[in-house]
Structure 1
Amino acid sequence: MAYLLVTLNHFKVVQSWARSAGARVNLDVATFELEVRAGNRIYTLYPQFFAVFEGTFGHSPVLSAAADGFIGWLPYKPLRWEMATEKLSFKRFLGTHDEPTPANWVGPDDTPTADFLLKRSRGSFGYDLFGPYHAGTDLRATLAAANGSRPAESTLFAERFVPGTNLKVWFWGGEAFYAHLHPYPFIEGDGGSTVRALVDRRLALVRRRFDESADMMIMRAALDYQRVGLDDVLPAGQKVWLDYRYGRRYAVDPTTAQEDNALARLTVSAREQVARIGQKLGDAMLNELGAPVLFSVDGVVDDEGKVWWLEMNSNPVMPPQGYPWVFRDLFGIPVPAEFLPSSSALAPAATVVRSTRQTSATIASPELMVVP
């Protein structure tokens, strides 16, 4: 995710938009807040940062000693809602709206009828995941092994494991404007090297070692699932995947928006599924919050091209390309052509109309000042 996390890329897009819109933007270095003026309106955009608190990952609106990376500005302070906080709530929404999500089993007396993962119902930045396990694995035993690290108010549940390609889509309101499509990272046998040596060779691309990696447990589980041992020697050409989580690519990240944004590279079928889920979630958020907001949705694209939705995020990293959508609703200025998706297949989501008055009246009103 290098492109998204480079602070200068955020400045570049805001600067480009400001020039095209004749807007003025000021940065308060004390708070890292942006003041944006266009026409007769002024808005304040608030920053968010990755932060590490006593070894735990989180988000913070303050540039403090705990901050570990910048993830963008928004015209409101951090928001939380039920579907983005509880994965099982999101799954219930999907079920009532006929959108595909992997089956889940919550109680210890349930018997998973397919290969499965163990997950926390609350987000953990890709950690606190267990498995995958093959169908028939004793669910009680796996739950007992995982329960020791259960966070407060978090339900541990089994979810059908759907292998495929990880998909993450960012929406402003109901409109998709950015996506990541990440295949699983893999190693390939050469007929002489052990699996451990091949893994270390792959991790060396990002200056890491298997025995030192915080992701070692997941990689071990992935290898076990494929019935591959660290001391095995893979035949030449045989491929084995190392991780099933979004963002764990173990490779050099793209450095440009064109390389990083996969939205226009999705198949027609996947784009239609993205547009449909965006419309439904955008409407739900508009009804609940009264204004469009930023959210992302994680999914997996299976071998047949079907998208299975997994979870929703309320305060994701803001891709720099999203600012023109935010400014459109704040200032009524159309999104410049250079930032529009290149595919007309996303048109169903793009027809959603969001009221600028609604935005200013509900989320940003304390910071809105109309200039005579």
Structure 2
Amino acid sequence: MASYKGNLLNHFKIVKKWADRAGADAILDVSSFRLLIRRNDQQAVLYPQFMNVEDRRRQYSPELTDASRRFIGWLPYSVRRWAIASDKIEFKRYAERAGMRTPEYCLDDDPAIRDVIVKRRSSSFSVGIRGPFRHAGEAPLDASQSEYYERFIDGRIGKIWFYENFPICMEIERMPSVTGDGMLSARDLIQVKLRAKGATGFDMERAETLRRFCGDSLERVPARDETVVVDFRYGSALAVREPGQNINLKKAMPEVWSDELRAIGEACWRGIPAEIQEGTIYTVDVVVDPEERIWALEMNSNPFVHPFLYGHLLSNLVKRDAAERVRH
């Protein structure tokens, strides 16, 4: 089952629903995929983003080219970047100053540190992540890759979308897993699930490292209906798709997280340069631990846009256009 935001029609459906309700026109330029929103004498342009794949490397781009493999949503601007969304360590330092909960980290080799994963300061799409390891000494840092240690937090993995300081929606999912049948090893269960999904490129060595961290092995045969966690990355090929993973926070803010989500939004928005704060969309990657505490991992500018954002985004765009016309 594809993710909700990965379905192109969900983007069109929500834009259409807003346009019908607002009495607006939504006009798509197929050559550029730019979207013109027009209501009476008000208008705004949304700029597309695409996931391009070249030499097996994924990157986001505002241009539709032969390398484009997936549409990843519209933004009210082309590209915006800022420091704490470009460097994971800068984000973690900012998060600590702002009072956000973020996993402990270390930039130096220290074999005494326990229960860690290894990350790179500026990588995307989980590139270069290693672990988890019980002891940092199992995985010396590679200074040439700007690696660092981060405390591994067990729990559900998630991504939160913000418009300025407002939490708009959230994806939350269990760590990727396979389910035992009492006959196949965990390794074989992974292969079966990958074939069923038509997925490639899964890092079996990382799965083995995770199972070893848990005192287990991919060679063990799990009991029937036993859940075996085999990855910890958001967007894994083995992600478990379930109802309720896409939460519209504007309609149904979970009470257990409401104060924390709003505080994260306020803090992150203040970390964006003032000249680009207005109308900026960003995401924060998180882990929700068994005690329902949210741990902020990193911040992303120019993210894959969740369709739940469009209602809030478009309403604010037309209001802003009207206000600017009044001023001029």
1:200 Cα shift? 2.4
Unaligned runs of 5+ in 2: none
1:269 aligns with 2:275: no
Report the equivalent of 1:117: 117
Question: For 1:20 and 1:90, how far apart are their aligned partners in 2?
Answer: 39
Please report the RMSD computed on the Cα atoms of aligned residues, expressed in angstroms. 2.7
The equivalent position to 1:326 in structure 2, one of 294, 313, 324, is 313
Task: State the one-letter code of the partner of 1:156.
Answer: E
Deviations 1:263-308 (A, max 9, x none): 4777523232111101222243372524121100011011111111
1:293 aligns with 2:291: no
Task: State the one-letter code of the partner of 1:232.
Answer: R
SS in 2 for 1:134: strand
SS in 2 for 1:285: coil
Higher helix share: 1
Q: Determine if contact 1:172/1:292 at 8 Å carries over to the other structure.
A: yes
Report the equivalent of 2:140: 142
Deviations 1:171-219 (A, max 9, x none): 11111111111111223444443222222233344134xxx64332321
Task: State the one-letter code of the partner of 2:217.
Answer: G
Question: For 1:360 and 1:68, how far apart are their aligned partners in 2?
Answer: 38
Task: State the one-letter code of the partner of 2:166.
Answer: E
Deviations 1:209-251 (A, max 9, x none): xxx6433232122122123223223345543210011122625
1:2 Cα shift? 2.5
Report the equivalent of 1:49: 50
Q: Determine if contact 2:166/2:262 at 8 Å carries over to the other structure.
A: yes
Question: For 1:10 and 1:190, how far apart are their aligned partners in 2?
Answer: 38
Higher strand share: 2
1:72 Cα shift? 0.9
SS in 1 for 2:35: strand
1:112 Cα shift? 4.8
SS in 2 for 1:313: strand
Report the equivalent of 2:80: 79
Q: 1:183 to 1:251 in 2, by over 3 A?
A: closer
Q: Determine if contact 2:177/2:240 at 8 Å carries over to the other structure.
A: no
Question: For 2:225 and 2:31, how far apart are their aligned partners in 1?
Answer: 55
Task: State the one-letter code of the partner of 1:241.
Answer: V
1:259 Cα shift? 5.8
Report the equivalent of 1:365: none
Q: Identity rate of aligned residues, in percent?
A: 31
Structure 1 stretch 81-90 or stretch 121-130: which is displaced more?
Answer: 121-130
Report the equivalent of 2:157: 166
SS in 1 for 2:118: strand
Report the equivalent of 1:348: none
Q: Determine if contact 1:3/1:253 at 8 Å carries over to the other structure.
A: no
Task: State the one-letter code of the partner of 1:230.
Answer: L
1:68 aligns with 2:56: no
Task: State the one-letter code of the partner of 1:261.
Answer: I
Q: Which residues of 2 match residues 1-372 of structure 1 at below 5 A?
A: 2-108=3-109, 110-135=110-135, 137-138=136-137, 141-144=139-142, 150=145, 155-208=146-199, 213-236=201-224, 238-248=226-236, 250=238, 253=241, 260-261=246-247, 263=249, 267-285=254-272, 287-332=274-319, 356=320
Per the normalisation by structure 1, the TM-score is 0.79
Question: For 1:170 and 1:63, how far apart are their aligned partners in 2?
Answer: 24
SS in 2 for 1:15: helix
Q: Determine if contact 2:174/2:240 at 8 Å carries over to the other structure.
A: no
Question: For 1:94 and 1:196, how far apart are their aligned partners in 2?
Answer: 38
Question: For 2:217 and 2:259, how far apart are their aligned partners in 1?
Answer: 40
Q: Determine if contact 1:47/1:62 at 8 Å carries over to the other structure.
A: yes
Question: For 1:53 and 1:213, how far apart are their aligned partners in 2?
Answer: 15
Unaligned runs of 5+ in 1: 333-355, 362-368
Q: Determine if contact 2:186/2:228 at 8 Å carries over to the other structure.
A: no
Task: State the one-letter code of the partner of 1:82.
Answer: A
SS in 2 for 1:328: helix
Report the equivalent of 1:344: none
Per the normalisation by structure 2, the TM-score is 0.89
Question: For 1:19 and 1:191, how far apart are their aligned partners in 2?
Answer: 52
